[in-house]
A and B are shown apart, each in its own frame.
Chain A
Amino acid sequence: MVDEGTRKTLSSIPLLQTKAGPRDKELWTTRLKEEYQALIKYVQNNKAADNDWFRLESDKTGTKWFGKCWYVHNLLKYEFDLEFDIPITYPTTAPELALPGLDGKTAKMYRGGKICLTDHFKPLWARNVPRFGIAHAMALGLGPWLAVEIPELIEKGVVTYQEKSEEAK
């Protein structure tokens, strides 16, 4: 159950090939390179489509990721810190993306600001192991989540516009 737009976005993100997790030494490095390639391509696509919406980087081991994502609503840009760990069970299990700044502000979240994904995300991920990577999790998981949740949170006044974030990066 993926809408047309997401499907199109998804289809232009390259698929990964190496099934390796952070405990797999050299193979993990190979996987990590693929992750970065897919992410770079995805960000390039987003920029080309004038829909640039996140930045991510990792520590040297590739197991701790952090960055920012943003969402434009009524011409204002709302920015959020994004972080997640790569679990030892990756890529069999998807990364649990977290927006710690929104922890406790919405019911569509688990502890620590981990976003609550739809019923469809996990089966979709499971069917695509090991081809899906972080870029796919962003496109399929966080992107749609922001699109649904952020306008609502803004409307409720839980999320408010902050002048400063406009000039970050």
Chain B
Amino acid sequence: MSTVEELQKRVKELEAQLASVQGNAGPARQKIDVMSSEVVDSNPYSRLMALKRMGIVDNYEKIREMSVAVVGVGGVGSVTAEMLTRCGIGKLILFDYDKVELANMNRLFFQPHQAGLSKVDAAASTLQNINPDVTIDAYNYNITTVENFQKFCDTIRTGSLTGGPVNLVLSCVDNFEARMAINTACNELNQKWFESGVSENAVSGHIQFIAPGQTACFACAPPLVVASKIDEKTLKREGVCAASLPTTMGIVAGFLVQNTLKYLLEFGTVTHYLGYSALTDFFPIMALKPNPQCEDMYCRLRREEHNLRPVVEVATEVTEDSAPVHADNEWGISLVDENTPEDDDCSHLKLVDGVQVAYSVPVDNSTPESSTGGAVAASELSLEELMQQMKSM
């Protein structure tokens, strides 16, 4: 019934309407060149710059030179990105390949009208509106695939405001594969990063600082879990994959950004590992040393490089020991100072009470679950022939 011209006109009208509804009339405030500490209603940075006057931070405005990559813009990542945006971070680089769904609305940040948009685009537009001073790059792809991984590495390596490596990578992803991909990239690039996570039952979480060679990498041990004090038998897993709470995610994002700020602006102490158990309000912290036998070749390499450098900080004494004192200690609330006797569980990790590895992996390569099948014999056939054989079955 309509001609192409009519339809094109209609599209234009609708686009104009959409833009006005979304408030795309440009950012609500002008960009600000230099952070001012002047205390006036109109200065978005006055309360942050007050940190200097109070002697907490020496150089708050340095944050404008900092670039941070946030991988995963979900329940934790979006809040993390918003906090950094409001803090006036210089540049944010967002990675995610997911879309906003109504099922995400139990978390913070995203709004129902954004359903269907890519998370990175939706986030970038909201964040840009909150603070036009932040440079925001958004990448909508899965970093674990072969073709995207290289792009991811290149972006981390050259993504800063000055074209160099970013200052920090924040992992806010929700799966083991993506964490391992970030770990691989950061070990290779010698890039410092934070891992963060919330358990699938929504009642525990953690953050972990990973400086390749200096602290345990994500592959140094099986994933760490905070004891949730839930009897596994009472945990019903039928019918669902994962639960989530805005509270736990907000708390973890808060810890993540707090430690990010401490790292970037050099104040306070950056925690290597901080766990959180919601049911008991229990927050174990500990330092983690790299595993000399880590499966990741670059982790071992970075450790050797690190050991060759003169020790600057006292915080990292490497001691090897092997006393599995992990029995069944009632894990009381205890602050752990870094000089407490090590109680090793997973050979090199000095795990505090209340934190365990998710599973154990045998050190030797023997006794796999299915040892009777034998190994594949070297095949006479070429790969193409095997592919053909499989195809014709």
- How far in angstroms is the closest Cβ of chain A from B228? 13
> Chain A nearest CB: distance from B92 CB in Å?
23
B181 near A: Cβ within 8 Å? yes
Q: How large is the interface on B (under 10, 10 to 19, 20 to 34, 35 or more residues)?
A: 35 or more
Contact assessment for B376 and A93 in the assembled complex, using a CB-CB cutoff below 8 Å: no
Cβ–Cβ < 8 Å partners of A15 in chain B: 368, 370-371, 373-376
When the two chains form their complex, are residues B370 and A136 in contact, meaning their CB atoms are under 8 A apart?
yes
For chain A, the bracket of interface size reads 35 or more
B362 to A, closest residue via Cβ:
A127
> Closest approach, in angstroms, between the C-beta of A13 and any C-beta of chain B?
5
Asked whether B324 is an interface residue with its Cβ less than 8 Å from the other chain, the reply is no
From B98, which residue of chain A is reached at the shortest CB distance? A111
**Among residues 1 to 26 in chain A, which have CB atoms less than 8 Å away from a CB atom of chain B?**
2, 7, 10-17, 22-23
Cβ-based interface call for A165 (8 A): no
Q: Are B361 and A127 in contact (CB under 8 A)?
A: yes
- Contact between B368 and A127, CB atoms less than 8 A apart: yes
Indicate if the CB atoms of B240 and A107 lie closer than 8 Å: yes
Main secondary structure of the interface of B (DSSP, over half): loop
Segment of B3-11, B264-272, B303-311, B381-389 in the binding face: B381-389
Q: How distant is the Cα of A70 from the Cα of B236 in the complex, in angstroms?
A: 28
Does A150 count as interface, using CB distance less than 8 angstroms?
no
Q: A36-B390, A55-B393, A116-B241 are in contact. Are A93 and B362 (CB under 8 A)?
A: no
Which residues of the other chain, B, contact A128 by a CB distance below 8 angstroms?
368-370
Q: How distant is A96 from chain B, measured CB to nearest CB, in Å?
A: 6
Task: Write the chain A residue with the least CB distance to B232.
Answer: A119
Instruction: Chain B residues near A108: list those with CB within 8 A.
Output: 239-241
Query: Are B369 and A109 interface neighbours, CB within 8 A?
Result: no
Q: Are B391 and A57 in contact (CB-based, < 8 A)?
A: yes
List 29 interface pairs A-B (beta carbons < 8 Å), by A numbering.
Answer: A10-B370, A11-B373, A12-B372, A15-B373, A16-B375, A23-B149, A29-B383, A36-B383, A36-B389, A44-B393, A47-B393, A56-B390, A57-B391, A63-B145, A86-B146, A87-B180, A88-B149, A88-B181, A107-B239, A107-B240, A110-B241, A118-B237, A122-B176, A122-B359, A124-B369, A126-B222, A127-B369, A128-B368, A128-B370
B239, B362, B376: the one within 8 Å of A17 (CB):
B376
Which A residues fall within an 8 A CB radius of B? 2, 7, 10-17, 22-23, 29, 32-34, 36-41, 43-44, 47, 55-58, 61-63, 85-89, 92-93, 96, 107-111, 116, 118-119, 122-124, 126-129, 131-132, 136
Interface-centre pick from A55, A56, A87, A108 (highest chain B CB count, 10 A): A87
Nearest B residue to A41 via CB reads B376
Q: Does B356 contact A (CB under 8 A)?
A: no
Pairs A-B, 9 closest by C-beta atoms: A123-B359, A87-B144, A36-B386, A116-B241, A89-B180, A10-B370, A11-B372, A14-B376, A93-B177
